[in-house]
Chain A
Amino acid sequence: MSTVATAHADEHHGAPKGITRWLFSTNHKDIGTMYLWFAFTMFLIGGAMAMVIRAELFAPGLQVVDPQFFNMMTTMHGLIMVFGAIMPAFVGLANWMIPMMIGAPDMALPRMNNWSFWILPVAGTMLVSTMFMEGGGPAFGWTFYAPLSTTFAPASTDFFIFSIHLLGFSSIMGAINVIVTILNMRAPGMNLMKMPMFVWTWLITAFLLIAVMPVLAGAVTMMLTDRHFGTSFFDAAGGGDPVMFQHIFWFFGHPEVYIMILPAFGIISHIIPTFSRKPLFGYSSMVYATASIAFLSFIVWAHHMFTVGMPVAGELYFMYATIMIAVPTGVKVFNWVATMWKGSLSFEIPMLWALAFVILFTIGGFSGLMLGVAPVDTQYHDTYFVVAHFHYVLVTGALFSIIAGVYFWLPKWTGHMYNLKLATFHFWWSVIWVNVLFFPQHFIGLAGMPRRIPDYATQFADWNMISSIGGFAFGLGQLLFLYIVVSTIRGGEKASTEVWDGSDGLEWTVPSPAPFHTFATAPEVR
C-alpha cells in the first residue's frame, strides 16, 4: 500500500508556496481548509437551486421553470447539499480539529487524505455537469428510486452513478483515515473515555460511513447493470423488485442521516460547556447515547417506506424501533441543558448558534417522532411536512452546527477574531428567516401539499409565498457569512491562544493561528 505515508522529513518548515501547496498537500490543516471551501462552494450552488425551487413555488401555477427542470432542481439540490456540502464540511472540520484535539502531528494517512479530498471536485464537477447534458440531469429525486432512475432515466444518469461511486470512495477513505488516526495516534495518556466528544462522535460516524457507503455503491452498481447489462435487480419483468431498491437505498439512507448529525452533536458538546464554564454533563452517557443512536440507525430503515404495503407486524416493528431513537437523543438534549444548568453562561456567537441548534433541532426531532408513527405517516408521507422535518434537522441541525463550529474555531484557524457586530447580525438574520422559511412548510404539509411538485392548489398559496420570502432572505444572509469568513482570514483583532474564556482541550494550547505543524512531539495527557 503506497498510500500509507511516512512522516514529514522536516518538521520545522512552514507552508509551501503556490498552487502545489494545495494540489500536493498532505497537511491536515490545508486539506481541512480545502474540504471546507469545497463544501461552501457546493453549498452556494445547492443554495442557488433552492432559490429556483422557492421562486417557482412563490405562487401557484408554472411561472419560472418547466416541471422537468424543477424536478432536476429538487434532485440536484438534495444530492449536492447531502454529498457536496454537509458531508465534506464535517470531514473538513474533522481534518482540522481531530489531530489537534488528540495531540497528533497530522492524520494517520496524509497522502490518502490528499487523494480523498481531490476526488471530490472531480465527482462534484461530474455530478453538476449532468445538468448540461442532452436529456438533462437526474430528475428522479435525490433518493433515485428505481425504475425512475433505471428504465425511465436520462442518459446522463450513468455520470450520476459514477459520481456517486467516486463520492463513496472519497468518504470511505476519509472515514478509514479518521478511524486510524483516532485509534493509533492519540497522545500518551488519552484513553478512549478521555477523548473529546467531537472525536468520539466522528469515530462512530466513520464506522457508519464504512458500513453504509459501500452499500450505496452496490445499489448504484445494480442500477448501472440494470440499465446496461441486462440484469433485473429492480425490474419486475426479469423477476426483480423495485421495492427492493428502496430497502437497499434506505439501508444506506438511514445511517446516512446520522452520519450528517452525529458530528454536529460533537460540536455542540464542545461549545455549550465552553460558554457555560462547566464540564459537559454526563460525558459517558453522551458516548453511550451516540453509540446507541448509531446502532439503532441500522434497524429502522423501513420507516421511510411505511406506505409501500408492509404487513402490520413490519410497520409495528419499524415504528417501535424508530421511536426508541428518541431515548438516546433525549439523553443528549437533556445533557446539554443540564450542562447549562447553574453555569455562568455567556452568549458569544458560537453559543448563540449552539442554542439555536438545540431548540430547532429538537423541533425537527419531534416532527420526526410524528413521522415515525406508522398510522399517521400514511397522511404525512411525501408531503411538505417531511420537507419541513428534514430541513429542521439538516439546516437548523447539521448546517447550524457547522456554522457554530466555524465561528468557534475560526479564531484558532486564522488568528483573528471576526467582526462581532456582523456575526451577531448574521445569527439573528439567519435564525429568524430560517423559521419563516421552514415553519410554514409544516402547515402546508399537514394540509396535504405534496413535495417535489412545481405547482400546487391555491389554498397553499399564502404559506408558500411566506416560505419563499424566508428562503430568499435566508439565502442572502449566507453571503454575509462568506464575507465575514473572508475578512477574518484577511485580518482583524488578534485572537489569544485560548481564544475563549472557558476553552478546554489540547486544541486551545497551540498558538493562534495554529502553526502549520502542531504536536510534532506528543503532549502528555493526565
Chain B
Amino acid sequence: MTTNPSDLARKNLRTVRKLALVGVAMFGFGFLLVPLYDVFCDITGLNGKTGRLEAAEASGVGIDKERTVTVEFIANVRDEMGWDFRPQVASMEVHPGALMTTSFVAMNNQPHGVTGHAVPSVAPGRASRYFNKTECFCFSEQHLAAGESKDMPVKFIVDRDLPRDVKRLTLSYTFFSSGDEPG
C-alpha cells in the first residue's frame, strides 16, 4: 500500500482508466449483441431464419429422388399496409437437393405507391437452416405503384441433410411497410 499522496493519485488514475475502458467496451458489446444474435440464429436456425445460397453453389448439389418433402407457403401482410399478398400455389412436393421455383403475387390496393419488405420464416425452426434460397424478393425492398400487381418469384433448395423425420416445411412471408409515397 502506497503512502505518498501523488503516487496514490497516479495509481488511482490508472485504475480509473482501465475501468472506464471496460465501461466503454461493454457499451460496444451491447451493440455487438445484435449481430451476435443474428449469427447465433443463423447457426442454430432459431427464429426460423432461412439460409441463402448463390446460384453457382446450388447447381453442384445432387438430388435425392428417394425422399419427398411437402413445402407449404403462407403469406401475411401487416394490416395498415393495404396490400393483397398470396402464394401462387399453396404447397409443393419437392425432392431434397432439387432447385425449385415458385412465386407469390402482391397487389397494392392503396391510392399511392408503397414500399415494403418481406420477412421470411420457416417452421419448424430446427428445419430452417436446411431451407436455402438462391433468389428471393425478400432479399431487397419491393415497390408497388398505386394499383400495381407483381409476380414475385422465389427459388429454393431444401438441403439433402434435412433431418429424416421432417416431412413438412412451412415457408411464411410477412410483408411490412417501409414507407408510403406522399400523395
Q: Is B16 a contact partner of A215 (Cβ separation < 8 A)? A: no
A236 lies within 8 A of chain B by Cβ: yes
Distance between Cα atoms of A214 and B21 in the complex (Å): 11
Distance between Cα atoms of A109 and B8 in the complex (Å): 11
Binds A, one of B84-92, B93-101, B149-157, B170-178: B170-178
A133 lies within 8 A of chain B by Cβ: no
Contacts of A214 in B (CB 8 A): 23-27, 29-30
Which among B15, B27, B117, B176 is the interface contact of A217 at CB below 8 angstroms?
A: B27
Given contacts A176-B23, A244-B37, A311-B126, contact A218 B12 (CB under 8 A): no
Within the complex, what minimum Cβ distance (angstroms) separates B115 from chain A? 10
Q: Is A210 a contact partner of B22 (Cβ separation < 8 A)? A: yes
Distance between Cα atoms of A251 and B36 in the complex (Å): 13
Given contacts A222-B31, A248-B33, A311-B125, contact A179 B174 (CB under 8 A): no
A4 lies within 8 A of chain B by Cβ: yes
Contacts of A108 in B (CB 8 A): 12, 15
Distance between Cα atoms of A522 and B5 in the complex (Å): 12
Contact with B along A195-221 (1 / 0, CB 8 A): 000000000000000111111111100
Contacts of B30 in A (CB 8 A): 214-219, 222, 248, 251
Within the complex, what minimum Cβ distance (angstroms) separates B42 from chain A? 13
Q: Select from chain B the residue with minimum beta-carbon distance to A235.
A: B176
Contacts of A176 in B (CB 8 A): 16, 19-20, 23
B56 lies within 8 A of chain A by Cβ: no
Contacts of B37 in A (CB 8 A): 241, 244, 247
Q: Is B9 a contact partner of A6 (Cβ separation < 8 A)? A: yes
B146 lies within 8 A of chain A by Cβ: no
Q: Is A236 a contact partner of B174 (Cβ separation < 8 A)? A: yes
Binds B, one of A124-132, A182-190, A409-417: A182-190
Contact with B along A242-263 (1 / 0, CB 8 A): 0110011001000000000000
B47 lies within 8 A of chain A by Cβ: yes
Q: Select from chain A the residue with minimum beta-carbon distance to B81.
A: A237
B46 lies within 8 A of chain A by Cβ: yes
B105 lies within 8 A of chain A by Cβ: no
Q: Is B31 a contact partner of A210 (Cβ separation < 8 A)? A: no
Q: Is A237 a contact partner of B78 (Cβ separation < 8 A)? A: yes
Contacts of A210 in B (CB 8 A): 19, 22-23, 26
Distance between Cα atoms of A248 and B1 in the complex (Å): 40
A193 lies within 8 A of chain B by Cβ: no
A→B interface (CB under 8 Å): 1, 4, 6-7, 108-109, 172, 175-176, 179-180, 183-188, 210-219, 222, 233, 236-239, 241, 243-244, 247-248, 251, 310-311, 314, 522
8 A-B pairs, CB-CB below 8 angstroms?
Answer: A4-B16, A108-B12, A180-B15, A185-B8, A218-B27, A237-B78, A248-B30, A311-B46
